[in-house]
Amino acid sequence: MKHIMDLSRESFIKYFEEIGEKSFKASQAIEWLYDKKSYDPINWSNFKNDTREKLVSSFNHFMIKIKKKEEDNLTKKYLFELEDNNHIEAVLMEHDYGLSVCISSQVGCNMGCSFCESGRLKKVRNLETYEMVEQILLIENDINKRISSVVIMGIGEPLDNYDNVLEFIKIINDDKGLAIGARHITLSTCGLVPKIKLLQELPLQINLAISLHASNNELRSKLMPINKAYSLDELISAIDKYIEHTNRRVTIEYVMLNDVNDNEVNAKELINLLKGKNVYVNLIPYNETSHIIYKKSPKDKILKFYDILKKGGINVTIRKEFGSKISAACGQLRSKEVK
Ligand code: SF4
């Protein structure tokens, strides 16, 4: 059976037209689901009885459930169990500008980044659109508050699940539904160049974040096998074209690994790669995990790296650390479960 939270506005319109209903019913369905949080169509009082019955017999709703939660004061980490008993994670973070959720887009990941706990467990499958939507709804219902921004940066490579992720973005962005503004949606990729090129052609105002994590090809290939398929040069040129097409600033994610990518030479190489581009660099203190040898760069090294970039004319920030007391590294909660 299909899932009702797989349906974007276009798909709802198509469905209602097929069953002989007016297309404006799409707006009402979206309002019931995401604004009024009424998930069972049998309760949609402005729909005819036979339409409600058709909806009930055609679609499922709520197929994933919260299995476990861990929290410290500004962060809550959720482990979800899917219908087929697979597990994924999402993280809720409280910022001074609102609540943001980082969601998963796949069960496991095949990109094999050597510092990543999520990638340690290979991809089992792509998430369906509804499984991404439900992560947000279950969290909103759990805390009884609205989420104001979404980051697709949890388990999985979102551009490796391109179609479902785009449907998900359309659904959460719909102004009659969750109404999360495109500028509050960030998609993070390890650098699937052909998909970045597709993305730039779409009329989307979302934020693109590139997980760069290295300042030269040799190091990047060691840390991120994707670099062997799409080299740093190809990736940087794709970023240039993306900026040219969309006129949007791109975020460059750079995880700080002690004695791996955090020295002065790395900082200067990064300046050479990025100077003059409409990007900002987000330096990420690493979340250590017991399975992976990398260690977090000490604070003074991160600050020095930051200073060099800043003096080199690069827009740069250091990401606030969230949830270091809980299983904060992406994929850590799931790997405890999968073991
Ligand atoms: S960092 Fe992202 S792309 Fe790389 S293995 Fe982890 S989840 Fe996959």
158 lines ligand 1 (CB under 6 A): no
Q: How far is the CA of 281 from the centre of ligand 1 (A)?
A: 18
116 ligand 1 Cβ < 6 A: yes
Helix (H) or strand (E) holding 71: strand 65-72
| Mean pLDDT across 65-81 | 93
Model confidence pTM above 0.75: yes
How much is the average pLDDT of 256-270?
Answer: 98
**Residue 74: band (very low, low, confident or very high) from pLDDT cuts 50, 70, 90:** confident
Q: Name the residue among 277, 254, 278, 276 with its Cα closest to residue 266.
A: 254
Is 119 close to ligand 1, i.e. is its CB under 6 Å away?
A: yes
Alpha carbons 258 and 66: distance in angstroms, whole number? 35
- What is the pLDDT averaged over residues 283-310? 94
CB of 136 closer than 6 A to ligand 1?
no
Active site residues: 89, 330
**Lowest mean pLDDT: which of 15-29, 54-68, 233-247?**
54-68
Q: Can you give the pLDDT at residue 32? A: 97
Say what the pLDDT of residue 289 is: 85
Ligand 1 centroid distance, CA of 129 (Å): 19
Q: Which atom of ligand 1 has the smallest separation from the CA of 190?
A: 3
Closest atom of ligand 1 to 155 CA is: 7
Instruction: Give the single-character DSSP code of 68.
Output: E
Q: What is the mean pLDDT of the chain?
A: 94
Between 105 and 72, whose confidence is greater? 105
Which amino acid is present at 287? N
The pLDDT confidence band at residue 215, using thresholds 50, 70 and 90, is: very high
For 323-338, write each residue's pLDDT tens digit: 555 555 666 666 666 6
User: Which residue ranges form the domains of the chain, and what is each CATH number?
Assistant: 2-60 (1.10.150.530), 65-338 (3.20.20.70)
DSSP 205-257: --EEEEE---SSHHHHHHH-THHHHS-HHHHHHHHHHHHHHH---EEEEEEEB
Cα(239) to centroid(ligand 1), Å? 19
Relative to the CA of 154, which ligand 1 atom is closest?
7
Q: Tell whether ligand 1 has an atom less than 6 A from the beta carbon of residue 149.
A: no
